[in-house]
Amino acid sequence: MHITIIQAILIGLFAYLGSLSVPWFLGLTGGWYTLTRPLISGFVIGIILGDVTTGILVGIAVQVVYIALVTPGGQMPQDLNSAAYIGVTLGVIAVEGGATVESAVAIAVAVGAVGTIFHNFMMLTNSFWNHRAKAAIDKGDYKGLWFNHYVGPQVVQFFYRFVPTCLVVYFGATLATNIITYFPTTSFTMRTLTALGGMLPAVGVAILLTQVTKKDIDLIQFLVGFTLVAALQLNMISLAILGAFFAYMNFKYTASKPALAANKSDVEEEL
């Protein structure tokens, strides 16, 4: 599939808008936590490339790998932005060329691993603007502070995100389209990528499990959800409703404890 310059530029622009630190689209909330979620980027890329269905299918598959990615203090084990824009775009093109959605996941995750370099560069070069902002504060120069907080860092960030995304997507498209001729579906490489891409979502799910379970026995909640879908073929909305019911029951029946404790302390205070 051929990709036009305009399409590459649009994808580059969204990649910039969605990258961490960019304020223009509701800041962190609209950028990093919305535009850079692969489900959303898949949708956006699908619209730009004129194939929303494939965009979303690839987006979902990549999304599950990163479903519970937490980046405390700006530490980034995987650069979600390059996975979501460079990776998903190449993945969508590869899938249209005949590759499996699973192999697209493996490609996106590989891109995400390399992409951390852009993030770390930004975190380093921003120190330059920070020192200038500090100097502006010492002089009480509001304009200088504003410039060195918004304009300077964002111009640099634009180059870190827009240029690589644009170039890789534009020049990588041919390679991605033909990936199936270099590595046919039955080749060792393609079979490995497909197997790997099918397994990677397990990592995302497992990360989430380590975050939401306090005791090992809490895994039973996960098992219930898994069983309802795997064995009883429930769809996700029905599962969410059932889950909400259990969560509500949990909330309702743990209510008595803190209420008692509160009453007790009230009594003590009165005494």
Partner 1 sequence: MTEKIKKLDKKTLQKSWWSWYVGNLSSMSFEWLEAFGFAVSMIPVIKKLYGGDKEEEIKALKRHSVFYNTEPQLGAIINGIMCGLEEERANGAELDDEVINGIKIGLMGPLAGIGDAMIPGMYIPLLLSIAIGLSDGGNPLGPIFYIVTYLVSMTSLSYFIFFKGYELGTKSVELIVGEAANRIRESFNFLGAIVVGGVAASYVNISSAWKISQTGKEVVINDILNGIFPKLLPLLLVILCWWLMAKKRMSALKVMGVLIIVAIVGVAVGFF
Q: How far is the CB of 160 from partner 1 (least distance, A)?
A: 13
Single residue of 5, 181, 251, 269 touching partner 1 by CB under 8 A: 251
How would DSSP label each residue in the chain?
Answer: ----HHHHHHHHHHHHHHSTT--TTTHHHHIIIIITSHHHHHHHHHHHHT-HHHHHHHHHHHHHHTTT---GGG--SS-HHHIIIIIHHHHHHHHHTT--HHHHHHHHHHHHHHHHHHHHHHHHHHHHHHHHHHHHHHHT-HHHHHIIIIIHHHHHHHHHHHHHHHHHHHHHHHHHHTHHHHS-TTSHHHHHHHHHHHHTHHHHHHHHHHHH-SSGGGHHHHHHHHHHHHTT---HHHHHHHHHHHHHHHHHHTSHHHHHHHHHHHHHHH-
- Binding of partner 1 by 263 (CB under 8 A): no
- Binding of partner 1 by 205 (CB under 8 A): yes
x-marked contacts with partner 1 along 44-73 as a string, rule CB under 8 A: --------xxxxxx-xxx-xx--xxxxxxx
Part of the chain binding partner 1 (CB under 8 A), chosen from 3-11, 88-96, 129-137, 165-173: 129-137
Q: How far is the CB of 62 from partner 1 (least distance, A)?
A: 10
Q: Which is nearer to partner 1, 1 or 123 (CB)?
A: 123
Q: How far is the CB of 107 from partner 1 (least distance, A)?
A: 13
Q: How far is the CB of 7 from partner 1 (least distance, A)?
A: 19
x-marked contacts with partner 1 along 17-46 as a string, rule CB under 8 A: ---xxxxx-xxxxx--xx--x-xx-xx---
Single residue of 4, 50, 117, 150 touching partner 1 by CB under 8 A: 150
